[in-house]
Amino acid sequence: MSQTFYTKDHEYIRVDDGLGVVGVTEYAQKVLGDVVFVELPAIGASFTRKDEAAVVESVKAASEVYAPVSGDVEAVNHALETEPGVVNEDAEGRGWFFRIRIKDESELGELMDADGYQAYLQTLE
């Protein structure tokens, strides 16, 4: 069964059996506005938690996407290269950015669960 965790930088990671699917949250895509470009990491790239892993550009701004945990990229969502707007349509579904093989699952304990993330969003209003 998968579990989803969130960062204060508005990334999510959906974890299932040591593999995490990473993207930006619904909140992030709303704040960004229309996404026009996504720069994805290379397959095989290795990241430490909080490293810049990708970039998302919208009509408003460019934002870094950080690795929520340490690990190695096993797959990227190539569909975003030609259809970056999928991030706006389904940020936490078809709009995922990359899959990462998690090196240290204890890092997940430093992230928020869904309830914690919703509570965090309330502090931003």
pLDDT tens for 77-95 read 999 999 999 999 999 999 9
pLDDT tens for 16-39 read 999 999 999 999 999 999 999 999
Angle (nearest 5°) at CA 3 between 109 and 23: 90
Helices (H), 1-125: 26-32, 79-82, 86-89, 114-123
Residue ranges and CATH numbers for the domains of the chain are 3-123 (2.40.50.100)
C-alpha–C-alpha distance, residues 31 and 41, integer Å: 23
pLDDT at residue 125, rounded to an integer: 77
Retrieve residue 108's tokens: 């997940």
3-state secondary structure of 103: coil
Do the beta carbons of residue 49 and residue 100 sit within 8 Å?
Answer: no
Mean pLDDT across the chain:
96
The yes-or-no verdict on residue 9 having pLDDT over 80 is yes
Element (H, E) at 120: helix 114-123
Predicted TM-score (pTM) of this structure? 0.95
